[in-house]
A and B are shown apart, each in its own frame.
Chain A
Amino acid sequence: MKRYAMVIDQSRCIGCMACISACVQENKVPFENFRTRVLEITKGKFPKLRTELRAELCNHCDNPPCVDACPTGASYKRDDGIVLIDRNKCVGCKACIAACPYDARYINEEYGYADKCTFCEHRLKKGLEPACVATCIGKSRVFGDLNDKGSEVSRMLAENESRVMDKAAGTRPRVHYINRYPTKR
């Protein structure tokens, strides 16, 4: 069984938003909705500043609050770790949106169901990487199988200090952040 995860090397992100653009097209995300975003957060006082570039998306949590919150069983977690939504079961109640600490979901206004990142599972089936990973200009986003110890994601996590978003929330995300090439003054 696969154990899918994404590792984002923030030092390689240049904030170019290619990932967002590719995701929108690949997944036909409705106008002005997004399944991923890139934040540029600068701290400090001129001229002593530092910037964090952080790509955010559904964390495909191992303890997913959206799945717990879903009254119809539409939100579910697959054995390979991907959190998905069964559109036939979704009634658009937005409980999952309220439960998600990562603001990863939206309602498809045209058809009324909740939607979000799927790790491009339709591409995985064909042996392709998620669209955001495939187009990432900085190769900042890496995707793979944590059960394969030789995979790049496994190596990246083994060799680097990593973190997840809002660890204290206990959601156990499958999206990990590293800063492999710290450029300290």
Chain B
Amino acid sequence: MAISRRNFLKCAAFTAGGAVLADNPFVKATAAAAMKKEVKHVPSYCEMCFWRCGLIARVEDGRVVKLDGNPLHPQSRGRLCAKGNAGMGLLYDKDRLKTPLIRTGERGDGKYRKASWNEAYAYIAEKLNGVKKKYGPESVALFSHGSGGQYMGNFLEAFGSPNHSHPSYAQCVGAREVAFTLTYGQGPASTAERVDMANSRVIALFGSHLGENMHNSHNQDFVDGLGNGAKLIVVDPRYSTAAGKASIWLPIKPGTDLALILGWINIVIQEKWYDRDYLEKYATGFEQLKEAVKEYTPEWAARETDLPKGDIVEAIRELGRYKPNVVVHPGRHYSWYGDDTQRGRGLAILNALLGTWGRKGGLWLPPKVNLVKMKQTLKYPKPRRESLAFGDYPEAAGGITTEVRRATIDGSPYPIKAWFVIGTNLMKTLPAPEKTKEAVKNLDLLVNIDLMPTDMVMMSDVILPTTSYLERHDALAIVTQKNAGIAIRQPVVNPWKNVKPAWLIAKELCDKMGLGKYVAYNTLEEQMRQQAKLWKIDYNELVKTGYIPVADSYHPYITEKNQPEFATDSKKIELYSSTLDNDNMDPVPKFTRHKEPPAGTFRLIYGRSPVHTFSRTMNNKWLWQLKNENEVWLSATVARRLGIDNGEKVFLVNEKGVRSNVVKAKVTERIREDCVYVIHGFGSTSKRMTMTYGRGIDDTQMMSHYATDPISGTNGLRVNFVKIVKES
């Protein structure tokens, strides 16, 4: 650890408000005399979101006073976003969970008693043994997001359950990974999307609201691309910040993206904009594709999407003209309409036709690295029953949260009786939150491991308080930008007194359950050192610099010597998917119309604020002051019709009669008339989140319906229609 253990109690009176005191002229002299500040700069990496930028913490007398981007780390390049800059708002949040808690009242009524770690572990162990005896170890499930998930995942496997699910799959990026894997044999991202926007001549975004969706280096690349003269095409029913930079904005009718994509594919083929040599060399299924999309004429696409035909044609010709140094961004959050794998296939095919995979300005090839993660020395027990988290979906590639929830409710194919939840607020993540509540009723045990008393945490039987990313080690991270590298997370300050890092919680739970033999280390740092040795990385150097690049890993573009490999059945890019054909799914995407909002209602769409991550950051005072409530974006034309003024208080009612909190209407020209938009993640129901409790609309609460993608099993969340009602 690079931080000092120096005892700073002697000037503790000054440390709490030290910087403020020092700024005050009247006490400056005394403060300066009393405080010989010990200043350290400690590198680590961020987890305010999941981009995981390298940071350098400035620590004065054991307190973090500033966070800066690590210039060595390719995902921050010396810069941090608003969230990254505000990390101490999480670290020093007065509402943080400070001690283990055991429920004393009914689930959800918020009554808890303080417990020691041993008591909490004993409670959990007893319940787990009960579930194991009665239902088998597979009846325990884990929901995880973030770095802590891996350790709890190990615990789950040691216990004997295969039911590990991730909201990042079914509620986010899952369908994209499935779609691109079907087409190219791998996804377009390794955490970070491999989109070479900095070098693109034309960038097309489908709903990706860069700028508002803040992933650090991705946005740096985006702006660098624009700065280098890239043309920007934005497809979005809302005039996003990115749309404000576009040369062509296509305000598409929500739910018809695939119609536009298929229309574009057809134009590319008919007008011969495709990269013929590239396709001959790397792709298969062109003739079948050509035949399948010929019905999708520009006139048809214009009718379906409610876009001018001229704009549709002009946009794709721009992409065609500058191919292959162009990119149709693969996107990230995919859970839109329930046919999301096919939309992803469409985007994947379009990129293939334009020859962007492995081309400058397109999608770069992953860095070549041979970094083997340390193997688990002792094999975990083989579960007697298969995971139920993949459902019956032919290409499911991740644990599906909503499948685990369903099984918890209906007990099929076998019951789920205990949930561990780490780092994810399921009440703000899974659609149809009433079903989450119903599932929780069936549980014998619900454990949450978190920093904050979120909605989900406050439903727990046992709450285990964990450390923030600034207080802990995590397993060494492999960073894959164009270059690969290794990044370290290490404590920049000592952890709060009675909270523990997830790796330690998992280890102690293993010990308690008699599974200690599966954890081969005493401290995680021990394992990190071994891993570094295995990778021939100087651990001590890493502690000092935070990031070490892997030599000779940079091979982003196709050259004669650097040929792409496609791990599909045909070993080529599959424009026509034989796998989907075997699954009895459409081998080339087909457009099917989605239900449209009934008269008087609007499709609820949602997105992000650049200063917030899901519902994780709303209680952070430094981010709260930048955005502490969402508003309903409503078309000015509609607002006039309904007699709603800008700033007037309104609420939403969905088709099931669920009523939202009251917020202000944002009456704007920036959105179509058939939808309303809110920023995701607001509307906390946890009174212990004192900054954010009750503020703003919870879009998830409004999602009584969701569609299910028949290929990947992922959710479609943009299928809810709401009325907008004036409060008065």
Of all A-B residue pairs in the complex, the 9 with the closest CB atoms, nearest first, are A51-B244, A14-B211, A21-B82, A21-B85, A138-B223, A16-B610, A17-B82, A46-B669, A88-B25
Counting CB contacts under 8 A, is A69 at the interface? no
Q: Given the known A-B contacts A25-B85, A181-B226, A183-B226, are A134 and B79 also in contact in the complex, defined by CB atoms under 8 Å?
A: yes
Which among B212-220, B422-430, B711-719 touches the partner chain? B212-220
Closest to B22 in A: A28
Query: Is there an interface contact between B239 and A42, defined as CB atoms closer than 8 Å?
Result: yes
Given contact pairs A42-B668, A47-B251, A14 touches B223 in the complex (Cβ within 8 A)? yes
Known: A21-B82, A25-B88. A53 touches B227 (CB 8 A): no
Q: Is the CB of B79 within 8 A of A18?
A: yes
Name the one of B19, B68, B611, B672 contacting A134, with C-beta atoms under 8 angstroms. Answer: B68
Query: Is A110 within 8 A of B20, CB to CB?
Result: yes
A32 on interface, CB distance cutoff 8 Å: yes
Asked if residues A12 and B251 are in contact (CB atoms below 8 Å), the reply is: no
Interface residues of B in 12-43 (CB under 8 A from A): 19-20, 23-26
- Scoring A residues 75 to 115 as 1 if CB is less than 8 Å from chain B, else 0, what string do you get? 00000000000011000000000000000000000110000
B241 touches A49 (CB 8 A): no
Contact A15:B216 (CB < 8 A) given known A24-B622, A135-B85, A185-B247: no
**A125 at interface (Cβ–Cβ under 8 A)?**
no
| Across-interface contacts of A135 in B (CB, < 8 A) | 68-69, 79-81, 85
A12-B226, A47-B249, A137-B223 known; A18+B80 contact, CB < 8 A: yes
In chain A, residues 26-43, which have Cβ atoms closer than 8 Å to a Cβ of chain B? 26, 28, 31-32, 40, 42
Question: CA–CA, A11 to B69, complex, Å?
Answer: 23
A: residues with CB less than 8 A from B are 11-12, 14-18, 20-22, 24-26, 28, 31-32, 40, 42, 44-47, 49-51, 53, 87-88, 110-111, 134-140, 180-181, 183-185
> Are A46 and B625 in contact, CB atoms less than 8 angstroms apart?
no
CB-defined contacts of B78 to chain A, threshold 8 Å:
134
A-B contacts besides A16-B214, A28-B20, 18 pairs, CB < 8 Å = A12-B223, A14-B222, A14-B223, A15-B241, A16-B82, A21-B83, A21-B623, A22-B82, A24-B85, A24-B625, A40-B244, A44-B669, A46-B635, A46-B672, A49-B670, A135-B80, A137-B220, A180-B227
A87 vs B78: C-alpha distance when bound (angstroms):
32
Known contacts being A22-B85, A28-B19, A47-B249, is A139 close to B670, with CB within 8 Å? no
CB-CB < 8 A to B626: which residues of A? 17, 20-21
Residue of A nearest to B251 (CB): A47
Contacts of A50 in B (CB 8 A): 244
Residues of A within 8 A of B227 (CB): 11-12, 139, 180-181
B58-99 residues with Cβ-Cβ distance < 8 A to A are 65-69, 78-86, 88
Residue B3 interfacial (CB < 8 Å): no
- Cβ contacts under 8 Å, B229 to chain A: 181
Task: Determine the chain A residues whose CB is within 8 A of the CB of B216 once the complex forms.
Answer: 137
Contacts of B637 in A (CB 8 A): 46
Establish whether residues B85 and A16, one from each chain, have CB atoms under 8 Å apart when the complex forms: no
CB of B223 within 8 A of CB of A139, answer yes
A181 to B226 CA separation, bound complex (whole angstroms) = 7
A17 and B611 form a contact (CB under 8 A): yes
Considering the chains assembled together, what is the distance between the CA atoms of A11 and B169 in angstroms? 35
User: Residues of B within 8 Å of A, CB-based: how many?
Assistant: 62
B621 CB–A CB distance under 8 Å: yes
B241 contacts A18, C-beta separation under 8 Å: no
CA of A12 to CA of B230 in the docked complex: distance in angstroms?
12
Neighbouring B residues of A110 by C-beta, 8 Å: 20, 24
B positions within 8 Å CB-CB of A:
19-20, 23-26, 65-69, 78-86, 88, 210-212, 214, 216, 219-220, 222-224, 226-227, 229, 231-232, 239, 241-249, 251, 610-611, 621-623, 625-626, 635-637, 668-672
**Shortest Cβ gap from B344 to chain A (Å):** 25
A111 to B24, CA, bound (A): 7
> Which of A22, A45, A87 is close to B25, meaning CB atoms less than 8 Å apart?
A87
A15 touches B211 (CB 8 A): yes
Measured in the bound complex, the distance between the Cα atoms of B250 and A46 in whole Å is 11
Give complex CA distance A41, B81 in Å: 21
Closest A residue to B228 using CB positions: A181
Q: Chain A: which residue is nearest B211 at the CB level?
A: A14
* Contact sample, A vs B, 21 pairs, CB 8 Å cutoff: A16-B214, A21-B81, A21-B623, A24-B622, A28-B19, A31-B625, A40-B241, A40-B244, A42-B239, A42-B669, A46-B239, A49-B244, A49-B670, A87-B23, A111-B23, A134-B78, A137-B79, A137-B219, A139-B223, A183-B245, A183-B247
Closest residue to A51 on the B side, CB-wise?
Answer: B244
Question: Contacts of B239 on A, CB cut-off 8 Å?
Answer: 42, 46-47, 49, 51
Structural contact, A11 and B226, CB atoms closer than 8 A: yes
Contacts A22-B85, A31-B621, A137-B79; A53 near B249 (Cβ below 8 A): no
B220 contact from A17, A25, A138, Cβ within 8 A: A138
Complex Cα spacing A183 to B227, Å: 10
**Please, which residues of chain B bring their CB within 8 A of the CB of A136?**
79
Residues of B within 8 Å of A87, CB to CB, are 23-25
Report the minimal beta-carbon distance from B65 to chain A, rounded to whole angstroms: 8
Residues of the B chain whose Cβ atoms lie less than 8 Å from the Cβ of A16: 81-82, 211-212, 214, 219, 610-611
Cα of A152 to Cα of B623 in the assembled complex, Å:
32
Q: Which of B83, B244, B622 contacts A42 (CB 8 A)?
A: B244
Q: Which of B20, B66, B210, B241 counts the most A-chain CB atoms under 10 A from its CB?
A: B241
B219 and A14 form a contact (CB under 8 A): yes
Among B81, B242, B637, the most chain A Cβ lie within 10 Å of the Cβ of B81
- When the two chains form their complex, are residues A14 and B210 in contact, meaning their CB atoms are under 8 A apart? yes
Q: How far is the CA of A64 from the CA of B606 in the complex (A)?
A: 44
Chain A nearest CB from B480 CB (Å) reads 20
Residue of A11, A14, A31, A180 near B241 (CB, 8 A) is: A14
- Note all chain B residues with C-beta closer than 8 A to A46: 239, 251, 635-637, 669-672
A32-B625, A46-B636, A111-B24 are contacts. A18–B81 as well, Cβ < 8 Å? yes
Q: Hey, which chain A residues are within 8 Å of B83, CB to CB?
A: 21
Which listed residue, A25, A40, A45, A111, touches B669 by the CB 8 Å rule?
A45
What's the least CB distance linking B608 to chain A, in Å? Answer: 11
In the complex, A33→B668 CA distance in Å?
A: 27
Contacts of A40 in B (CB 8 A): 241, 244
A184 to B226, CA, bound (A): 12
How distant is the Cα of A26 from the Cα of B69 in the complex, in angstroms? 13
- Cα(A17)–Cα(B86), bound, Å: 11
Docked pose: A87 CA to B248 CA in angstroms: 51
- What is the bound-complex CA distance between A162 and B243, given in angstroms? 24
Q: How far is the CA of A180 from the CA of B228 in the complex (A)?
A: 11
Q: How far is the CB of A60 from chain B (nearest CB, A)?
A: 20
Interface centre among A45, A47, A49, A136 (most CB of B within 10 A): A47
Looking at A16, A26, A53, A184, the one whose CB has the most chain B CB atoms below 10 A away is A16
Q: Which residues of A contact B212 (CB under 8 A)?
A: 15-16
Instruction: Report the minimum CB–CB distance from B690 to chain A (whole Å).
Output: 14
- Answer whether A28 and B23 are a contact pair too, CB < 8 Å, given A17-B626, A46-B669: yes
**In the complex, A138 Cα to B245 Cα: how many Å?**
13
Distance between A14 CB and nearest chain B CB, rounded to angstroms: 3
Q: How far is the CA of A47 from the CA of B720 in the complex (A)?
A: 24
Contact across chains for B245 and A11 when beta carbons are under 8 A apart = yes
Compute how far the CA of A136 lies from the CA of B671 in the bound complex, rounded to whole angstroms: 28
CA–CA, A23 and B95, complex, Å = 24
Residues of B with C-beta under 8 A to A22: 80, 82, 85
B241 nearest in chain A by CB position: A15
CB-defined contacts of B245 to chain A, threshold 8 Å: 11, 14, 51, 183
Report A-chain residues with C-beta under 8 Å of the C-beta of B251.
Answer: 46-47
Q: Check if B80 sits within 8 Å of A17, measured CB to CB.
A: no
A130 CA to B393 CA, complexed, in Å: 53
